Amino acid sequence: MDAQQLDMNRNEDAMRRSLSTLKQRFSVVEQGGGKKNLEKVRQKGKLTPRERIAYLIDKDTPFTEIGAFAAYEMYPEHGGCPAAGTVGGIGYISGRQCMIVANDMTVKAGAWFPMTGKKNLRLQEIAMENRLPVIYLVDSAGVYLPMQDEIFPDKEHFGRIFRNNARMSAMGITQIAAVMGSCVAGGAYLPIMSDEVLMVEGNGSIFLAGPYLVKAAIGETVDAETLGGAVTHTEISGIADYRFDTDEECLDHIKKIVSKIGDPVSAGFNRATPAPPEKDPATLYNMIPEDSTRPYDMLEIIHRLVDRSEFDQYKEDYGKTILCGYARIDGWAVGIVANQRKMVKSKKGEMQMGGVIYNDSADKAARFIMNCNQKKIPLVFLQDVTGFMVGSRSEHAGIIKDGAKLVNAVANSVVPKFTVIVGNSYGAGNYAMCGKAYDPRFIYAWPNAKIAVMGGEQAAKTLLQIQVASLKAKGEEITPEEEKRLLDEITARYNSQTTPYYAAARLWVDEIIDPLETRKILSESIAAANNAPVEDTFSLGVFQV
């Protein structure tokens, strides 16, 4: 076996280990508040949130989950909050793509943690950007009171949910709320601000204040059903529109409602008959080096993601550290902007480092993005970037100016953008390649991804120098052994913050995905974006030329 084959085997082993970790961790996440709490829900005759979604969506159709790892390993002092207490994503109901948002009542009775708010706002944002009908499966005790100051009053907190309800209604986006459990306090406004409200008798309830608070506030003694149950709201208050005996009956009626919604106005993105890649996608596993600093050919990754492995390169011989070109993904026409990770030779015959953005590559990518906006072609960014080239030569050549040109083009792009982090995502390279701050419609990460302001080794050495200088300034002597201990400690802490799980927990990425799922997930994402016409005109504004 030659050295190249050994490297490929090591790479595949590393990727499969990462995927095994992903599956193991997801299997824990999908248990929500744990088996005991799941069983309690079933004893009440209720379906769990994942069972509700599985029953609701069309058989044998994909469900593209968003934010499964939201709040991952956060709030340990409060017992954790798996998936931020909400299961959400895009699924097909009666043949129509919909955003489905289901409270997980097994996690602190569906109470809202700070990340619950952030995740729900992200799901609503996706629905608004892509004009997707929204189905709320409501079963929540409201704000998690021990952390109320981090979820209640700010612009991006709990109240923004209802503002979005109103905005979506004005935009003509259908919202259907099925109250299948508690719906308390401020949360009671969500179903009432939706187009139609369905309730499950015996389990569903809506009220601003529950029986205990009513007793404390005004001295009235009343039970939950009388106060705000399904009968009350369908027969007396008129707040709810439909009443059902079971979760299944309620979900069946949602399917009927969705089946009658008018067809969306298409953005008109071009789609041909899908064709599989000619190069085997399964070999993606052995192409990404286990050592993220090592080079590889991004072109080979692209060939395993696009139809017929056909990629029409733009300015192939110029700005080679970024690959730009046209292709199809599951039939959808796309423009691809990808970091080339192998060493390349510049127009002047000089070798350039892979994964680094140089002046010419920034200039090329900016022009390509403009072309895609002109042609109304969605953009796919494949990130494995360590940043922009530094040093006097690059600075004198105007790397900041060329970088700003690229950032300007990405920021002002009006066609939908989709980002997949396939390796490193460091510093300003994250921004230029359409990181979260630049409004990609969807952003995904492979399980080997690393997201940080700079690589772990460089960051740790920089932080070490600062810490050692501080200690010496205080008159402390630092031995080589102590310096190594500090370096190891800093490196471990920094590396723990660069993992895709750390990023997904904070919704810097929407989901961590299997590389072999990339084509399907991008296809579903583009299909969602095709529901929303591109209404704005592309304009760059002012920048240094």
How does pLDDT run along the chain (545 residues), one tens digit per residue?
Answer: 688 889 999 999 999 999 999 999 999 999 999 999 999 999 999 999 999 999 999 999 999 999 999 999 999 999 999 999 999 999 999 999 999 999 999 999 999 999 999 999 999 999 999 999 999 999 998 888 899 888 888 888 888 999 999 999 999 999 999 999 999 877 788 998 999 999 999 999 999 888 988 999 999 999 999 999 999 999 999 999 999 999 999 999 999 999 999 999 999 999 999 999 999 999 999 999 999 889 999 999 999 999 999 999 999 999 999 999 999 999 999 999 999 998 888 777 778 888 899 999 999 999 999 999 999 999 999 999 999 988 888 887 788 888 999 999 999 999 999 999 999 999 899 999 999 999 999 999 999 999 988 776 777 777 778 888 887 788 887 788 887 888 888 888 888 889 999 999 999 999 999 999 999 999 999 999 999 999 778 888 776 55
Task: Supply 212's token pair.
Answer: 């205990």
399-402 CB contacts, 8 Å cutoff, 24+ apart:
399/358, 399/359, 399/362, 401/543, 401/544, 401/545, 402/359, 402/360, 402/362, 402/363, 402/366
Distances, alpha carbon 470 to alpha carbons 466, 474, 475, 509, in Å:
6, 7, 9, 35
CB contact burial 480-516 (16+ within 10 A = b; e otherwise): eeeeeebbeebbeebbeebbbbbbbbbbbbbbbbbbe
Map residue 206 onto helix, strand or coil.
strand
Query: Quick one: three-class SS letters along 417-450?
Result: EEEEEEEEEEHHHHHHCCCHHHCCCEEEECCCCE
Whether residue 159 contacts residue 143, with contact meaning beta carbons closer than 8 Å, is answered with: no
Strand 417-426 vs strand 379-385: parallel, antiparallel, or unpaired? parallel
Number of neighbours of residue 293 by Cβ within 10 angstroms: 12
Distance of alpha carbon 352 from alpha carbon 343, whole angstroms: 6
Question: Helix, strand, coil: what percent of the chain each, to 5?
Answer: 45, 20, 35
